[in-house]
Amino acid sequence: MSKKAISMTVNGRPVEAPAEPRTLLIHYLREQLDLTGPHIGCDTGHCGACTVDLDGQSVKSCMVFAIQAEGAEVTTIEGLAQPDGRLHALQEAFREHHGLQCGYCTPGMITRAYRLLQENPDPSEQEIRYGISGNLCRCTGYQNIVRAIQAAAQNLNSVPEAAE
Amino acid sequence: MIPASFDYHRPESLAAAVQLLGSLGEEARAVAGGHSLIPMMKLRMAVPEHLVDLRSIAELKGICIEGRAVSIGAMTTQAEVIASDALAQVCPILRETALQIADPQIRNLGTLGGNVANGDPGNDMPASMQVLDAQFEVAGPEGKRKIAARDFYEAAFFTALGEGEIMTAIHFEAPSASHGYAYEKQKRKIGDYATAAAAVILVMEGGRCSQASIGLTNLSDTPLYAQAASEALVGSSLDPAAIDAAVAAAEAIADPVTDSRGPSHFRRKLAGVMLRRAIASAQNRAA
Amino acid sequence: MNEQTPIAERAEKLQGLGCARKRVEDARFTQGKGNYVDDIKLNGMLFGDFVRSPYGHARIKGIDKEAALAVPGVLAVITAEDLIPLNLHYMPTLAGDVQAVLAHEKVLFQSQEVAFVVATDRYAAADGVELVEVDYEELPVVVDAAKAMAADAPLLREDIKDKDEGAHGPRKHHNHIFYWDAGDLEGTQRALSQAEVVAEESIAYQRVHPCPLETCGCVASMDKVNGKLTVWGTFQAPHAVRTVASLISNIPEHNIRIVSPDIGGGFGNKVGVYPGYICAIVASIVTGQPVKWIEDRIENLSSTAFARDYHMTGKIAATKEGKITGLQCHVLADHGAFDACADPTKFPAGFFHICTGSYDIPVAYVGVDGVYTNKAPGGVAYRCSFRVTEASYFIERMIDVLARKLEMDPAELRMKNFIAREQFPYTSALGWEYDSGNYHTAMAKAMETVGYQALRTEQAANREAFVRGETRSLMGIGVAFFTEIVGAGPVKNCDILGLGMFDSCEIRVHPTGSAIARLGTISQGQGHATTFAQILASEIGLPADRITVEEGDTDTAPYGLGTYGSRSTPVAGAATAMAGRKIRAKAQMIAAYLLEVHDDDLEWEVDRFQVKGNPERFKAMSEIAFAAYNQAIPGIEPGLEAVSYYDPPNMTYPFGAYICVVDVDVDTGVTDIRRFYALDDCGTRINPMVIEGQVHGGLTEALAIAMGQEIRYDEIGNVQGASLMDFFLPTAVETPTWETDHTVTPSPHHPIGAKGVGESPNVGGVPAFSNAVVDAFAHLGLTHTQMPHDHWRVWSVAQDLGLHG
């Protein structure tokens, strides 16, 4: 099947790259755009390692064709830090609270948490656990991930301008 | 897991979508949120030559409530169902059901229409559609028509949706303001289909159950409207005998397959447990 | 740092042993800048994908490649016929068997590799896979290890049908692999026959899978001009892979470079050598281009590296007062179609004979029969040392079974039989020498912390309320006390394919007082770059932040046997400390020269050598490092480097006391883990933050195994539930909050006293969950029920006990 140019905005930057209609968004991001932060963990939509932000919503990019995201705004883990390199509060908090080990689920987990905190800036532990229930982690047992997200929320709420 | 090749179409109107599906024939598949179809395509258990994506059709979206008449566009996502306070006001069982579906990411793309139209007996919304006695509006080459949710499901993945037809909207009359409701689902973990689930809506008047409606999920090759079970409650005070009769009637129509969730006999008994709990919860919530 | 800086402050700045140092790995992982194997992209890189068997057992009558080769982008379809001339259609396994790289003549398990399609990208490769036509003739399938040993069971391994002798002794049946035993059979039988009380139980540990979030894969690149093969891949033991690759390919070892990039979790899954690696290498040699192979999740769960599948029958003898007098165990071990277990050569059942556990048992005997079935090969140590989880599960269940029989509290029975502190070093009836332990103290602390007696009182009240019909929930309290055996191992006992299981560290201290340390291990999330730098910081007095730790590249790292079986800290951690001490010894000579004193007049203090009795006269390590490179010192070579190859004198024996409280809904079979307390003693604690993280993760994996994981096969050999829809990986919602605690009993033989911790929570966790579930029904007569304790199995227990009216 022939490829055609597919364009969208990724991490604030307009991009265009060739892809087949069947090209999955995750492969488009990883292989056409070299954004290898989002990972493939299960292929069936269960693990969330491929989570990206699509038009302001968390989605699993292995369950979306790139062509379906044509014209959309996509944010990946690579787009969360400030342009000057300052890390997002979540990125800091995951390190501070040991919210990662092998790092494979981390980009999807943080990208999901990023959207969760926009939807609910002050989530309870239970809300966080349900909020990240589409993201599997095999290493941490989630406890420190929950702590990291709580800490980031607190940090973002105390410094309003750091919210984005 | 890589899908086979296909041509992609993204019509912007319902008419165009119907026309496309008609002209492309049986090798075309409509895709809504994609969370049922795309995994099947990646496993190459579905190999459509054409994919007609309904995501840009504005007329298929939105929740409209006029009095007790509720219409929900088929492309309304589960997240939008959950987020609608107006809908939760008149018909809270849909939020309760949607929250039991998959996980947050999947609910962002997964649609109400896709969930009811796909015909997967594991999907949760069809049971709630049974209890609401919803009407499914579909559009096809012959125009629009409505199909009762209770007549829609024929077998696993076989429905009354005809060749080239698209689910466009779900219509129902919200139950009376005083109704109680519950969707009780047992699953192994977040993201799983039901081992057994029961949807209940009931109305209590003067200590007596005046209306009752019961649906069951993943307990047969279609969602079940448990009519006899519903009738067993009507007129009762929801006393143990009435509930036992309803549970017996529900178990009698449940015919779940043995799968990794457990053997059939366990899942059938669990249907009864879910129903008991749903009735208790609905009774508590009934005004 | 000058002389005014207090010692404590200087020590703190090093971020050495005991410091909850933040991880240096995290900066790249939190920004999506990790470098995992599927992130690697090389010019001209091709992609390989497998045609796999849909059958559990079938003869291959023909393979038609034509349609696949016609797919645009498909360059080659490799089958066994193509590998035979290279003698690569079979490869040696770690267990002394051979495994088909591509099925030759017949397939032996569903999902077995049949053909390898090489294409320009993964989409074209997948299209090619669809079009390879394989003609099969189905054969009778055996998926039950007991049935495999029946006289008339179908012959599975035709390739070795005439071999009466396997790698581990005689084979007594055409589907038999080995019989291995340890202990005193006669003495044990005598103890059993003379015992006042004997408890028996059949205990199965179901087939599960490590299922790291990243699947296995590699990129093989043959540089034909220079004759050098480079393979990047998910390898937990890169050096061993290099040696194996050299032995089977005849490429000299110096011309092979194996690189483990970042690894997205291993848990034992990435120890073995898989057909995908061999096929990618062959494809790269044939095409002259780099070839990537990445398995998908279904392939991962159904073909690479299962764990457990141990069917154990036990007898335990005791006095009426509860003193254990003997233990016997027979294991029927289902190894699948090929014996590809990853165990040290001399131990085909791993260290299963640690199964006397934490108890002073005078006599014991263990026998293990290994058997072939039509299931995937593997048999890896899934987050445990070799077969130690099976052993721990066995003994911790048997102790509870015995407690029921004696009508004694299971915690009390444990206390009564623990090896006492003064008995260490303790030689077990099955031959292990336990290095150190303080079991009574740990157990007492655990019981006191959770309020064990109060929990039992609450449970009694719950049972009465249940009888009165006031609740449909039963409370269970699970106690487990485990002893791990990790850190393989002494080279005299432990080797893999003849390679001694030492490990290594090479240190270069740079002139300005920073350093690089390279090790033979490889982190898969354990945080070696953080913790090994801490060991070294304490040894050589340079801040951990100025020490780079590098692993996983065989061209640069010293030879080592890799990371699994919790061996990194006990072995490579020791090598790091020993190499550090060599650095310090040379530094002492340099300092003596600079201070114009005798070596013996100096003493080490945190980050410096100082003159004894005159601490104002000192040389800090950073100054010494500079001098090592810029001063001509008589009798001392320039530079400051050291290498240590560490062959541990013994294994280490971490232990712990775990208590789990569960509420069981008898009507639904739903279990709610109300509380889980884990006390771990892993000896000296290098980084408490990392240890706690390891315990959380290990407990979560134990939860998954005990409560839901199972790789099951139906009667015709179809693998059930090999995707994340069915294979149970708990989400944050199903995972409880863990309570962690510790005691510290250093290992007497390890240079810093550390024992390793990563696998303890899995080893101790599984029996704690299981004991809790059984305990909920114990008053009704239940002594054992098979894992996993998923809803329907728990419900079935209640049903069988008549609790559903």
d(CA B184, CA B202): 14
| C177, part of any domain | no
| Residues C509 and C658 placed together within one structural domain of the fold | no
Residue of B nearest to A116 (CA): B104
Q: What is the pLDDT of residues A21-79, one digit of tens each?
A: 999 999 999 999 999 999 999 999 999 999 999 999 999 999 999 999 999 999 999 99
Please, what is the Cα angle at B51 between B48 and B55, to 5 degrees? 150
| A84, part of any domain | no
| Residues C631 and C696 placed together within one structural domain of the fold | no
Residue C69 backbone phi and psi in degrees, to 5? -70, -20
| Residues C477 and C508 placed together within one structural domain of the fold | no
CATH assignment of the domain containing A133:
1.10.150.120
| Contact state of C213 with A23 under an 8 Å Cβ cutoff | no
| Residues A66 and A102 placed together within one structural domain of the fold | no
| A31, part of any domain | yes
- Give which of C21, C22, C28, C29 to mutate to test A binding, by max A Cβ within 10 Å: C29
pLDDT tier at C189 (50, 70, 90 boundaries)?
A: very high
Asked if C236 is an active-site residue, the reply is yes
Query: What length is written for chain B?
Result: 287
| Residues A105 and A41 placed together within one structural domain of the fold | no
Q: Write down the pLDDT at residue A161.
A: 55
- Give me the domain span that covers residue A140: 89-158
| A37, part of any domain | yes
CATH assignment of the domain containing C134:
3.90.1170.50
| A52, part of any domain | yes
Residue of A nearest to B83 (CA): A119
Q: What is the pLDDT of residues B180-195, one digit of tens each?
A: 999 999 999 999 999 9
- Domain boundary (A79, A107, A142) is at A79
| Residues C400 and C327 placed together within one structural domain of the fold | yes
| C251, part of any domain | yes
| C150, part of any domain | no
Minimum-distance CB partner of A136 among C28, C38, C729: C729
| Residues C123 and C258 placed together within one structural domain of the fold | yes
Beta partners for residue C734, in sequence order: none
Q: What is the pLDDT of residues C761-802, one digit of tens each?
A: 999 999 999 999 999 999 999 999 999 999 999 999 999 999
| Residues A60 and A103 placed together within one structural domain of the fold | no
| A143, part of any domain | yes
Query: Considering its fold, how many domains does chain A have in total?
Result: 2
| C159, part of any domain | no
Query: Considering its fold, how many domains does chain C have in total?
Result: 3
Q: Which domains does chain B have, with CATH numbers?
A: 7-53 (3.30.43.10), 60-173 (3.30.465.10), 180-285 (3.30.390.50)
- Domain boundary (A33, A50, A79) is at A79
| A43, part of any domain | yes
**pTM for the whole thing?**
0.97
| Residues C739 and C685 placed together within one structural domain of the fold | yes
Q: For residue B12, which amino acid is it? A: E
- Give me the domain span that covers residue C16: 7-34+503-646
| Residues A74 and A94 placed together within one structural domain of the fold | no
CATH assignment of the domain containing A25:
3.10.20.30
CA distance, residue B61 to nearest chain C CA (Å): 29
| C750, part of any domain | yes
| Residues A11 and A54 placed together within one structural domain of the fold | yes
| Contact state of A59 with B55 under an 8 Å Cβ cutoff | no
| A96, part of any domain | yes
d(CA B93, CA B84): 12
| Residues A69 and A117 placed together within one structural domain of the fold | no
Residue ranges in chain B whose pLDDT is less than 50: none
Q: What is the pLDDT of residues C523-534, one digit of tens each?
A: 899 999 999 999
Q: Write down the pLDDT at residue C2.
A: 52
pLDDT tier at C3 (50, 70, 90 boundaries)?
A: low
| Residues C655 and C529 placed together within one structural domain of the fold | no
Tokens 């028509």, located at residue: B145
| C161, part of any domain | no
ipTM for the assembly: 0.97
| Contact state of A67 with B38 under an 8 Å Cβ cutoff | no
| Residues A100 and A147 placed together within one structural domain of the fold | yes
| Residues A75 and A99 placed together within one structural domain of the fold | no
Q: Mean pLDDT of all residues in chain A?
A: 95
| Residues A98 and A75 placed together within one structural domain of the fold | no
| Residues C641 and C664 placed together within one structural domain of the fold | no
| Residues A110 and A43 placed together within one structural domain of the fold | no
Asked if C701 is an active-site residue, the reply is no
Q: Write down the pLDDT at residue C317.
A: 98
* For range C347-366, the mean pLDDT: 97
d(CA B39, CA C359): 51
List of chains touching B (3+ CB pairs within 8 A): A, C
| Residues C656 and C706 placed together within one structural domain of the fold | yes
Q: Answer whether residue C53 shows pLDDT above 60.
A: yes
| C451, part of any domain | yes
Q: Are C205 and C787 within 8 A, CB to CB?
A: yes
Residue of B nearest to A60 (CA): B105
Please, what is the Cα angle at A95 between C27 and C517, to 5 degrees? 55
| Residues A61 and A110 placed together within one structural domain of the fold | no
CATH assignment of the domain containing C724:
3.30.365.10
Q: What is the pLDDT of residues C662-717, one digit of tens each?
A: 999 999 999 999 999 999 999 999 999 999 999 999 999 999 999 999 999 999 99
Residue by residue, DSSP assigns C40-69 as ---TT-EEEEEEE-SSSSEEEEEEE-HHHH
List of chains touching C (3+ CB pairs within 8 A): A, B
Q: Mean pLDDT of all residues in chain C?
A: 96
**Residue C225: CB partners within 8 Å, gap ≥ 6?**
none
| Contact state of A44 with C525 under an 8 Å Cβ cutoff | no
Helix A143-158 to helix C688-707 angle, to the nearest 10 degrees?
120
Judging contacts by C-beta atoms under 8 Å, the chain C residues touching residue B273 are 667-668
- Domain boundary (C602, C628, C646) is at C646
Residue of A nearest to C733 (CA): A129
Q: Tokens at residue C97, please?
A: 């068997």
| Residues A61 and A95 placed together within one structural domain of the fold | no
Strand C671-681 vs strand C739-742: parallel, antiparallel, or unpaired?
parallel
- Domain boundary (C646, C676, C706) is at C646
- Domain boundary (A30, A55, A79) is at A79
Q: What is the pLDDT of residues A44-55, one digit of tens each?
A: 999 999 999 999
| Contact state of B34 with A68 under an 8 Å Cβ cutoff | yes
| A163, part of any domain | no
| C165, part of any domain | no
- Domain boundary (C626, C646, C666) is at C646
CA distance, residue C719 to nearest chain A CA (Å): 17
Query: HEC string of C288-341?
Result: CCCEEEECCHHHHHHHCCEEEEEEEEEEEEECCCCCEEEEEEEEEEECCCCCCC
Q: Write down the pLDDT at residue C206.
A: 98
